[in-house]
Amino acid sequence: MKYIVCEQPGKFLLKEKEFPTRGKGEALLRVNKVGICGTDLHAYAGNQAFFSYPRILGHELAAEVLEIDENKRGIKPGDKVIVMPYISDENSAASRNGKPNCCPNIKVLGVHIDGGMQEQIVVPTDILLLSNHLSHDEMAIVEPLAIGAHAIRRANIKSNEFVAVVGCGPIGIGIIKLAQIGGAKVIAIDMNEQRLQYARDKIGVDYTVKAGENAVLEVSKITNGDLCTAVFDASGNRYALESCPDFMSHGGRFIMVGLSKGELTYSHPKIHAKEMTMMCSRNATIEDFEYVISVIDQFPTDTFITHRVSYTEMIDRFDGWLNPESGVIKAIVNFN
């Protein structure tokens, strides 16, 4: 069967290998679509944390079951399934405490172990969610939206509070929409005017602010001087991560969703004065996936997916997706 492997930073190869066979407790899937996310882009560029090469990328999957044993979710051959790409150690302290998403022994498809950029894949049965009522496009974007849903749940967003989302890439856009669904008043912040325009026109964000030296003043004007009770970073950019507390009101929450490889520096008196709650949000849980599935009909899937290619074209097109000027928000690779 055909598969695409990232041999080293900046180098993909289209190769062939034998079709996989499954074991007990596993399902054999046909991969139909793979969403390209920031993790894939960073891995290709050589700046992804927790990563080693060579690696088959891809963890945003729309798949169909070819073979599966009897299971508690009633999934059968022929069913459409979403893959929760996080394989956790159920005996770890994190998993025992309801946080398998940050298990110290977690293995994420396409990051720690090989992912879905292949015609067929074998995965544990218990990371599958039945999704016969969704389109393949909807299935392929559930995982990145679940990342946003987990961050929203971590922040305990309340109706009518002012929320800032820094970074209007796919994760940021998901956070914006899900915060709106939760009743928040959202301010989108980004340096890319094209993405701010998308947030206005297609997501219907309440306010947009161009990142830069006047951004805090603009946010202050919008909020009548109060600033935002919750600020999300969805950029992973060091400067943005270090600047986010400036948008936050006293007593507010700062939720770090984007991941930076480097160290971050904060003025302790500055953040202490605000009695800031700083939290990280990593991956997602089954509750987040189920919530996204329940509200995905409120999300503009058709405009969110901006680029589509066959797996035979992906290698030639991937470099262009690293350039913000390409207008890419979410690219989808078709395997079937």
Q: Give pLDDT tens digits for 148-194.
A: 999 999 999 999 999 999 999 999 999 999 999 999 999 999 999 99
Distance CA 228, CA 117 (A): 40
Mean pLDDT confidence for 47-74:
92
Region at 194 (left for phi over 0; alpha for psi -120 to 50; beta for the rest): alpha
326 pLDDT above the threshold of 90: no
83 pLDDT above the threshold of 80: yes
User: Which amino acid is located at 185 in the chain?
Assistant: K
324 pLDDT above the threshold of 80: no
Q: Where are the domains of the chain?
A: 2-133+300-334, 149-280
Distance CA 249, CA 254 (A): 10
Structure-token match 């003025």, residue found: 267
In the chain, what percentage of residues exceed pLDDT 70?
Answer: 100
Q: Using pLDDT thresholds of 50, 70 and 90, give the confidence band for residue 260.
A: confident
Q: Give pLDDT tens digits for 190-217.
A: 999 999 999 999 999 999 999 999 999 9
Q: How many residues does the chain have?
A: 336
Query: Is the distance from CB of 87 to CB of 107 less than 8 angstroms?
Result: yes
- Are domains 2-133+300-334 and 149-280 of this chain identical in fold? no
Mean pLDDT confidence for 7-34:
96
pLDDT of residue 51: 80
Q: Which two tokens stand for residue 335?
A: 């395997």
Mean pLDDT confidence for 1-22:
95
Distance CA 241, CA 266 (A): 10
Do β-strands 162-166 and 128-130 pair in parallel, antiparallel, or remain unpaired?
Answer: unpaired
223 pLDDT above the threshold of 90: yes
Mean pLDDT confidence for 238-244:
95
Query: Is the distance from CB of 51 to CB of 111 less than 8 angstroms?
Result: yes
- 51 or 95, greater pLDDT: 95
Mean pLDDT confidence for 229-241:
95
Q: Give pLDDT tens digits for 281-313.
A: 999 999 999 999 999 999 999 999 999 999 999
Mean pLDDT confidence for 318-329:
85
pLDDT of residue 39: 85
Mean pLDDT confidence for 316-331:
87
CATH class of 149-280: alpha beta
pLDDT of residue 259: 86
pLDDT of residue 42: 85
277 exposed, middle or buried (CB, 10 Å; 0-12, 13-18, 19+)? middle
49 pLDDT above the threshold of 80: no
Q: Using pLDDT thresholds of 50, 70 and 90, give the confidence band for residue 262.
A: confident
325 pLDDT above the threshold of 80: no
Average pLDDT for the chain:
95
Do β-strands 128-130 and 185-190 pair in parallel, antiparallel, or remain unpaired?
Answer: unpaired
In the chain, what percentage of residues exceed pLDDT 90?
Answer: 90
Q: Which long-range contacts (CB under 8 A, 24 or more apart) does 104-107 make?
A: 106/283
Task: Give the pTM.
Answer: 0.95
CATH class of 2-133+300-334: alpha beta
